[in-house]
Amino acid sequence: MTITASPEALTAYWREVRSRITSLPAEIPEAWPFGATAEHADGLLELVLAGIKTGTASSVWDYEETGERVPEAGDLSIILDGGGSPRAVIRTTSVRVVPFDEVDEEHARSEGEGDRTLRAWREIHERYWREHSENPRGFAPDMPVLCERFELVDPVG
């Protein structure tokens, strides 16, 4: 399932955000949802808006398969809800690649899912990559994972 926003919606949203935060660049950032389903996107977005979710993890193998650009510190992203509406802006603050089995408790907690433990993070993410990987390798205990941390730029407060 692919969740996207219309160019018109992104333009209007970005114009509105920039009217409040004038230091943001004119160029509209990449827009994407968290998760693989509309329901998952909405649930994870709510964690971001509540200030609970400040991290995410991606399969490096998926980036290699799709050719998508790997995020870097300083990147802005527009986060979409499950219906494709732009709802938030985040800024990547750090990125590191580690094997799946070396992701630490602190990063697991930053993702805000389940009971926020490393055990829950591993269960949730192994299942996710087994079911939704964009690459033929799917999941492996030593697969490279891109651990990204971010801050909520808008809405604030």
Q: Which domains does the chain have, with CATH numbers?
A: 7-154 (3.10.400.10)
pTM of the model: 0.94
Strand (E) positions, the chain?
Answer: 30-32, 55-59, 76-80, 86-99, 144-154
User: How would you list the strands of the sheet with 30-32, edge to edge?
Assistant: 30-32, 76-80, 86-99, 144-154, 55-59
Instruction: Give the pLDDT score at 2.
Output: 86
Inter-residue contact 101 to 141 (CB < 8 Å)? yes
Q: 6-54, pLDDT tens digit by residue? A: 999 999 999 999 999 999 999 999 999 999 899 999 999 999 999 999 9
